[in-house]
Amino acid sequence: MTANEVGPGAKLDQFTIVKAIGHGAYSDVYLAEDPAGRQVVLKCPHESIMGDVATFDRFRRELEIARHLHHPGIQRPIEFTENRSRPYMVMEYVEGETLRAMLSREKRLSVDKVVDLGQQLAAAMAYAHEQGVVHRDLKPENVLITPDGRLVVTDFGVALMAGARRLTWRWFSTALGTPDYMSPEQIQGKRGDARTDVYAIGVMLYEMLAGRVPWDGDNALSVMSQHINSPVPPLHELNKDVPPPIDGIVRKCLRKDPNERYEDAATLKADLGRWRDLNLTQFIFGDEAIIAPPSNSDLRLVLLIFAISAAFLTASIFLLVLVYLIGHAH
């Protein structure tokens, strides 16, 4: 099958192409049917890099990682061809839409919806982390939502399994992360661990609640610089309906120091499940201590204290001036 033949009705071995459903940095994704009429997903590398050893190894590793993951929240692999000149992967077909498509349509989601999707995403990644797998490229394009609300994580193409060799770092390749969702340690070229995925989940939680990612810019370097150097834009300024505990959970995910984030996705999932009962003191981080706008009563108290302080200062200055004038009068 050549590039000109990819389209409805084209054949790839025993599979018949129905339509293209995705285009990635180094592969294309197609909806297809097997001889029995079952719908499957075919993931094929771009023709321009077919036969490339590194690409073939990446595909092989993705399949090997996926074969270790058996969770309803992770897309299931079916088959992998060993043909170097035309490698492809067969995955289960998950009916639904990407989280990106959902956000494009709805802009931002309700708190309850975000908590539900966040728990499902954290559960899937907690399972992967237990198997020693770090995804490293979590983003709305790699998350599917079925019509009944089930979340499924896809594309483990740049995932790492414990003990696996490290890939060569390439600054501008989406193969090692997408700038909007990359953790500071990824940007700095470090290997990353479960907390790297927690950071990406935090970016997605923020985006689902705010209708935008925390940081954007004219180019990838600008965005990556902000991930490393810029504080998190206050979430409550973009969505006043976000409760302080949810705000705190998102901030904890987005801490620049991995040691200050949730240690793994399982802990994050637990907090999302009990957010109404969380003690807010755990989310106080130095210069980011304020995690929600003051209430009206708090604001009145602050203004009262300010007014009393101002009056006391004015009276003190008046008395000092009066004492000075009396002293000089004699």
Detail the DSSP E strand segments found in 130-259. Answer: 133-134, 143-145, 151-153, 160-161
Task: Check residue 76 and give its pLDDT.
Answer: 87
Identity of residue 238: L
Task: Check residue 306 and give its pLDDT.
Answer: 44
Task: Check residue 203 and give its pLDDT.
Answer: 98
One DSSP character per residue, 256-293 reads SSGGGS-SSHHHHHHHHHTGGG--GGGG--GGG---SP
Task: Check residue 158 and give its pLDDT.
Answer: 74
What is the C-alpha to C-alpha distance for residues 253 and 248, in angstroms, rounded to an integer? 9
Question: Structure tokens of 11?
Answer: 């054949």
Residue with tokens 């993705």: 62
Q: Which of 13, 28, 137, 271 is catalytic?
A: 137
- Residue 271 contacts residue 249 (beta carbons within 8 Å): yes
Task: Check residue 290 and give its pLDDT.
Answer: 38
Tell me whether residue 137 is one of the annotated catalytic residues: yes
Q: Residue 287 to residues 58, 231, 243, 282, 291: CA-CA distances in angstroms?
A: 42, 9, 20, 14, 10
Report CA torsion sign: 118, 192, 101, 251.
positive
At CA 205, angle to CA 59 and CA 201, rounded to 5?
35
Q: Centre a 10 Å sphere on the Cβ of residue 219 and count the other Cβ atoms it contains.
A: 10
Q: Write out the chain's pLDDT in tens, 330 residues.
A: 544 456 788 888 889 999 998 777 677 899 999 999 999 999 887 776 666 677 677 777 777 887 788 899 999 888 877 666 677 889 899 999 999 999 999 989 999 999 999 999 999 999 999 999 999 899 999 999 999 999 999 988 777 765 454 443 343 343 356 889 999 999 988 878 999 999 999 999 999 999 999 998 888 999 999 999 999 999 999 999 999 999 999 999 999 999 999 999 999 999 999 999 888 777 776 544 433 444 444 344 434 444 555 565 566 566 655 655 666 665
CATH superfamily membership of 97-288: Transferase(Phosphotransferase) domain 1 (1.10.510.10)
Task: Check residue 84 and give its pLDDT.
Answer: 62
What is the C-alpha to C-alpha distance for residues 66 and 75, in angstroms, rounded to an integer? 8
Residue ranges of domains in the chain: 3-92, 97-288, 294-330
What is the C-alpha to C-alpha distance for residues 234 and 293, in angstroms, rounded to an integer? 9
At CA 11, angle to CA 5 and CA 12, rounded to 5?
100
What is the C-alpha to C-alpha distance for residues 174 and 172, in angstroms, rounded to an integer? 6
CATH superfamily membership of 3-92: Phosphorylase Kinase; domain 1 (3.30.200.20)
Q: Residue 66 to residues 61, 132, 328: CA-CA distances in angstroms?
A: 8, 12, 89
pTM (whole model) above 0.85:
no
- Residue 229 contacts residue 263 (beta carbons within 8 Å): no
